[in-house]
Each structure stands twice: as structure tokens, then as C-alpha cells.
Amino acid sequence: MIRLQRTALALTALFATGLSSVAGQGLDLPSVFLEELTWTEVRDAIDSGTTTIIIPTAGTEQNGPHMVLGKHKFIVNYASAMIARELGNALVAPVVTYVPEGDVNNPTRGHMSKAGTITFPEEFYMKLLEYGARSLAVHGFTDIVMIGDSGGNQRGMEQVADMLNAEWASEDARVHFVGDYYGNNGFREWLMDQGETQETIGGHAGISDTSQLLAVDPRHIRTDRLAPGGGFEDSGVSGDPTRASVERGVRGIQFKVDAALNQIRALMGSR
């Protein structure tokens, strides 16, 4: 297991090279992450043409006994940095980690039945997204991209994008909901082409999720707790995470990034 972690860390370092810094429209910035910049750096970046901002969303939810609750945050932050660098004129806002995960009044269902999962009512989640987008538009960001790494946050992003775009029909700013990143990226189909099945891939905390987090930061995987189906009934795992690998994770994240880039460019090109 130690050898696996060392290999994963080495590959992750190679994969991550250059993710933080960004060269925008003639302006070098120390980071693509909004929270790592000063307000004057952001102002100058906008003035120089860096007018796209990504708002990532990610559930704080159980991921079985082998994977941390912040899995989605770590993956989407990493992928968003890749997307921002590829676009060349984009920054990444702080990840929204409070998303709909179930009902606090009926916590025996879904992820809420497991300790540590945090849920947020849909209407408040949407209001958070709305005012995040409004704030960024006020400062001059004209293309606000919403990307979610978990299922419960997709509908709210789409509804907020539709609402703000209708309101801003005569304005410069637009909100782009990028659902292909999560729901139409081709990674699951690729895994099946590699000989996996619906059962081994699973639907949660299985091969796909575990591989991606291994690629991003293997310290967040408890390798001694990897087991098919989580190893016990009601573990929260669907699939066989023992079949995960860093190499598969690198491929999976690239599928997501490519799908997002294709949709972003199509949405911006249709303006």
C-alpha cells in the first residue's frame, strides 16, 4: 500500500505541474484561484481580458469507509484549474460545498444516513449560487461557468443559469451551466470498454470516484479500507473501488475536462 501511495503521489505531482499559475490575456497571475489573488490582481486580470469565472459545486457527503467526505471538492477544484488554464482567460471561484444532499427531517435515507454528510435546502443553495454570480458579474466577469461534481447540485445550477440569463438578456454577462462535465463525459463508457461492468463500476464511491481522487490526492484514500462494496452491508459504497488506479483517475478527470471545454466553447460560441 505504501508503494501504491508513493506511485500515486509521484504521478499526481506530474499531473498537477503548472495547474496553479495562469497566463491570461497578456497578464501573468500567480494562481487561477480567486481566493489566492489580491483584489488588485483580480481587477487587473479582468481589465486585461480574464472575464470568465468558474463556480464549482461539490457535495460534502459520505464516500464509504475508504474515501473522505470532501472527495467532490478536491476533484472539481483540480479539474476546474485545468479547465481555466486551457481556456486561458478564466479564474476559479471558491468551491460551493453546501449543496442538497437529502432531508434533515428524514436523515435515514441516502447520504444523510451517514455521519458527516451536510445538506442544504435547494432554495438556499440556489440563492447562494445566484448571489455568487451576481457578485462576480458586478466586477466585470461576463462569462460565469457553473460546474458540479455531484448529482444533487445539477438542477439548481441549471435553474439559476436560466433565471439570470433571462434577467440579463440585454446585459453583457451570461451564466453557462455545464452539465456535460458530470453527466455526459464518456468515462463510464471507457471503463466498460476496458472490461469493467456496471456492477464493478458501481454508482457511488466505486472505481470512477476512487480513481479520480487517487489521481488528485491519494492521501484522501484509506487504502487499507478498500473493499468491493465497501466491505460490509450499508457501507455507502456501490461498486468495487479495489479496481481503481491513478492512471484511470487521470483518464477520468481528462474526460471531464474535455467534456466541459467542449460545452463551454459551444455555449460561448452561441452568444
What is the spatial distance between Cα 267 and Cα 271, in angstroms, rounded to a whole number? 7
Q: What is the pLDDT of residues 219-260, one digit of tens each?
A: 999 999 999 999 999 999 999 999 999 999 999 999 999 999
Parallel, antiparallel or unpaired: strands 174-177 and 90-92: unpaired
CB 246 within 8 A of CB 217: no
Average pLDDT over residues 14-22: 50
CA-based R_g, the chain, Å: 19
Which domains are present in the chain? 2-269 (3.40.50.10310)
Cβ partners under 8 Å of residue 86, min gap 6? 257, 261
Question: What is the structure's pLDDT at 28?
Answer: 85
Q: Give the pLDDT confidence score for residue 64 in this predicted structure.
A: 97
Strands 22-23, 28-29: pairing kind: antiparallel
Residue 137 clears pLDDT 60, i.e. is over it: yes
Instruction: Give the confidence band of 15 by pLDDT, cuts at 50, 70, 90.
Output: very low
Q: What CA–CA distances, in Å, run from 65 to 167, 217, 220?
A: 45, 17, 11
Q: According to the model, what pLDDT value does residue 107 have?
A: 87
**Of 7-21, 90-104, 136-150, which range is least confident?**
7-21
pLDDT confidence tier of residue 131, bands split at 50, 70 and 90:
very high
Q: Name the H helices within 98-153.
A: 122-138
Q: What is the pTM of this model?
A: 0.91
**Alpha-carbon torsion 129, 26, 77, 86, what sign?**
positive
pLDDT given for residue 109 in this prediction: 77
Task: Identify any residues that bridge with 54 across adjacent strands, giving them in sequence order.
Answer: 92, 145
